[in-house]
Amino acid sequence: MGDSAVLAGLELGADRLALGLAGIGGAWGPVDEAESLATLQLALARGVRVFDAAPSYGMAEQLLGRALAEWRGSRPIVSTKVGRVSSNSAHEEFYDFSSAGLRRSLEGSLRTLGLAQVDLLFVHEPQMVPPAERPRVVANLREFQAAGLTRRLGLAGGFGVEWDGWIESGAFDVVMLFRRLDPCILDGLADDVPRLRRHGMAIYGASPLHMGLLGARHDEFVRERPAWVWGPQIDRAIRLKQVADRHGLPLATLAHRFTYGLAELDRVVIGASNRRELESALNDIDAGPLPVEIFDAVCRVNAGENHETHERHEKDRS
């Protein structure tokens, strides 16, 4: 499944693939608890060694804790988040960035996961913290790190001025991009990647399916655009479906293989709500990056984006 020297250097594992647990936990809709647990067990059996959870991902932390308690192999890399607090739906947004709230969240996550320490702790949606409050939050996170509650710190979400004061603090090793670098949008290539690399940060690319638009919910989102999908991405998704159809590929397969082929991403975070979706996603990754012809066709859908600046294809990684 490929590896990342950058992340290995941070002692965050070398695997380029991570499994995000929003779908498994029920953040996007009701799930069967037994099926979700079986999906996590299958992921471990299939060699997935990086898992990303959050308190706002429904039952994700609880289920991962149960799966880890039963797992007899080496412990995988585990990340979770603070800031956005527990809710029953991805459509409900509750935040607590107070010093007490951050500590309460992390300590609760560790208890639920059955861990003394997570490998990586993200600030969930850092753009929601007023700039004047960011130095205090950074100080809180450094305290958690010094206490051994997390090994590394990261930012999950945001871009541009939303990162001001965070990146320059020097506290963070990883940024997780949402809706910034996938087949529907390449803005992150020109606007995000150079800044992050200048600061020596590793880059996670989350949601290759653009929060469902390039997956099972494509038709639904095209009919009625949800608030978190911008209009231009709907148009591109329709054209990407045409590219996928021309080449005999499921749209989700095209999206997974394109995103995994972006050399700028040190780690790609896929999602799944059940074993069938997980098997399909892992098979896509195992098939390798897209052929150059299809990869370039996806880039042309994003005409006008600065897509010539990236390294073009995973086969060029050394």
Alpha helices in the chain (DSSP H): 5-9, 22-25, 33-45, 60-70, 99-113, 134-146, 187-191, 193-198, 218-223, 231-246, 251-260, 275-286, 292-301
pTM of the model: 0.93
The model's confidence at residue 111, banded by pLDDT at 50, 70 and 90, is: very high
**What is the Cα–Cα distance from 97 to 83, expressed in whole angstroms?**
5
Asked whether the predicted pLDDT for residue 199 surpasses 60, the reply is yes
19 with 48: CB under 8 angstroms?
A: yes
Q: 221: how many CB neighbours lie within 10 A of its CB?
A: 20
Range 19-30 average pLDDT: 92
- Taking residues 224-236, what's their average pLDDT? 91
Q: How confident is the model at residue 28 (pLDDT cuts 50, 70, 90)?
A: confident
pLDDT tens track for 32-61: 999 999 999 999 999 999 999 999 999 999
Residue 310 has pLDDT above 80, yes or no: no
pLDDT at 91 over 80: no
Spans of all domains in the chain:
5-211+267-289
Domain 5-211+267-289: assigned CATH number: 3.20.20.100
